[in-house]
């Protein structure tokens, strides 16, 4: 009974699928934007890969400077606390001073009115806007995303962030009219639909690096991307280091289990 019924059910599905094949057009709708879209450029960082990756602390410090002086005007960094920047090689005193440079939301202890106070190491980077509505109002109705996880939250990761920051250009002459950037939009072939609301954020010499590194657009983009790789996963390097220890421990364990397996089975043909 199962077999004849199964046969009929199978024929039903197969008929529906054969009809689906013959009624589905074999040509795709042409996607014009796709032809202009570019794949992200590769960005090599010290924290890449699994062969002795490490944080380039000087670069992360420069990247944080770029975030603080440029990106933080519009983008929040909600998941990072000031205390976390100890990872970048800052001392406790430097961290406290750095935190003090920010005003964080608070309440007036006497009146209960909203107020601000100096940041403490336990505070998180404050948002540039009070809420989403304020952020949209200030940005032509676009919402600048939080950057804490940005290098993990986009296909292409750090390569994408770096490419986007350095990818602004004039629209190509053969770009169809419907793909041309509208008011308040900027052409960038690394962005999914080619035009994004963020204006080119970096200009050469925009920040003055304490270590004397020349602040070209490319350099600042690399540095801030490296910083955002750290904010997305502060435990990245530790993860790989622990991974090696666990892997080699298990490798020895596995060799021993293999030897004991061979030993136990030595007298049995199987």
Partner 1 sequence: MSFPWAKPYEPTHPLMKWMDEKLPIPRLVYNATGPGYPVPRNLNYFWNFGVLAGAALMIQIITGIVLAMHYAANVGVAFNSVEHIMRDVNAGWFIRYAHMNGASMFFIVVYLHIFRGLYYGSYKAPREMVWLLGVVIFLLMMATAFMGYVLPWGQMSFWGAQVITGFFSAIPIVGEPVREWLLGGFVPDNATLNRFFSLHYLLPFVILGVIILHIWALHIPGSSNPTGIEVKDEQDTVPFHPYYTAKDGFGVGVFLLVFVGLTFFSPNMLGHADNYIPANSLSTPAHIVPEWYFLPFYAILKAFTFNFLWIDAKLWGVIAMFASIALLFFLPWLDSSPIKSSNYRPLYRIFFWILVADVLLLGWCGMQPAEQPWVILSQLGAIYYFAHFLVILPIVSRIERPLPMPNSITEAVLAKHAPDVKSVSATA
- Binding residues vs partner 1 (CB under 8 A): 2-3, 6-7, 9-11, 13-21, 23-28, 50, 78-79, 84, 145, 148-149, 152-155, 157, 192, 232-235, 238-240, 242-244, 246-247, 250-251, 253-254, 257-258, 260-261, 264-265, 268-270
User: Which residue, 56 or 233, has its beta carbon nearer to partner 1?
Assistant: 233
Task: Report the DSSP beta bridge partners of residue 114.
Answer: 107
Shortest spacing between CB 203 and partner 1, in angstroms? 29
Q: Name the packing angle between helices 217-232 and 57-69 (round to 10°).
A: 100
Shortest spacing between CB 210 and partner 1, in angstroms? 27
User: Which residue, 4 or 112, has its beta carbon nearer to partner 1?
Assistant: 4
User: Which residue, 36 or 209, has its beta carbon nearer to partner 1?
Assistant: 36
Distance in angstroms (rounded) separating the CA atoms of residues 115 and 104: 9
| Beta pairing, strands 186-187 & 195-196 | antiparallel
Shortest spacing between CB 204 and partner 1, in angstroms? 30
Shortest spacing between CB 129 and partner 1, in angstroms? 16
User: Which residue, 44 or 268, has its beta carbon nearer to partner 1?
Assistant: 268
CB distance 181 to 112 below 8 Å = no
Q: Which residues contact 53 (CB under 8 A, 6 or more apart)?
A: 46, 47, 236, 237, 240
User: Which residue, 17 or 73, has its beta carbon nearer to partner 1?
Assistant: 17
User: Which residue, 205 or 243, has its beta carbon nearer to partner 1?
Assistant: 243
Shortest spacing between CB 143 and partner 1, in angstroms? 9
Shortest spacing between CB 195 and partner 1, in angstroms? 15
User: Which residue, 144 or 215, has its beta carbon nearer to partner 1?
Assistant: 144
Which contacts of 196-200 are long-range, i.e. CB under 8 A and separated by 24 or more positions? 196/142, 196/164, 197/139, 197/140, 197/142, 198/74, 198/142, 198/144, 200/168
Q: Which residues contact 97 (CB under 8 A, 6 or more apart)?
A: none
Distance in angstroms (rounded) separating the CA atoms of residues 134 and 131: 5
Shortest spacing between CB 106 and partner 1, in angstroms? 20
CB distance 78 to 71 below 8 Å = no
Distance in angstroms (rounded) separating the CA atoms of residues 56 and 63: 10
SS3 114: strand
């Amino acid at each position: 009974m199962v077999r004849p019924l199964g046969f009929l059910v199978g024929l039903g599905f197969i008929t529906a699928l054969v009809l689906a094949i013959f009624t589905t057009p074999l040509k795709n709708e042409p996607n014009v934007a796709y032809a202009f879209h570019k794949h992200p450029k590769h960005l090599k960082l010290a924290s890449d890969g699994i062969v002795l990756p490490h944080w380039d602390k000087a670069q992360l410090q420069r990247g944080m400077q770029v975030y603080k002086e440029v990106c933080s005007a519009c983008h929040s960094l909600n998941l990072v606390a000031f205390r976390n920047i100890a990872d970048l090689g800052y001392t406790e005193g430097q961290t406290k001073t750095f935190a003090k440079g920010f005003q964080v939301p608070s309440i007036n202890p006497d009146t209960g009115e909203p107020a601000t106070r100096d940041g403490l190491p336990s505070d998180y980077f404050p948002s540039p806007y009070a809420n989403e509505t304020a952020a949209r109002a200030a940005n032509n109705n676009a919402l600048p995303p939080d950057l804490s996880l940005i290098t993990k939250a986009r296909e292409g990761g750090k390569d994408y962030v770096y490419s986007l920051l350095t990818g602004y250009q004039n629209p190509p002459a053969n770009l169809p009219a419907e793909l041309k950037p509208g008011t308040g939009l900027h052409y960038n072939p690394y962005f999914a639909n080619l035009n994004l609301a963020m204006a080119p954020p970096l200009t050469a010499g925009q920040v003055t690096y304490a270590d004397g590194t020349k602040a070209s657009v490319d350099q600042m983009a690399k540095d801030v991307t490296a910083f955002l790789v750290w904010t997305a996963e502060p435990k990245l390097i530790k993860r790989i280091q622990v991974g090696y220890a666990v892997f080699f421990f298990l490798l020895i364990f596995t060799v021993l289990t293999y030897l004991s397996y061979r030993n136990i089975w030595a007298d049995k043909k199987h």
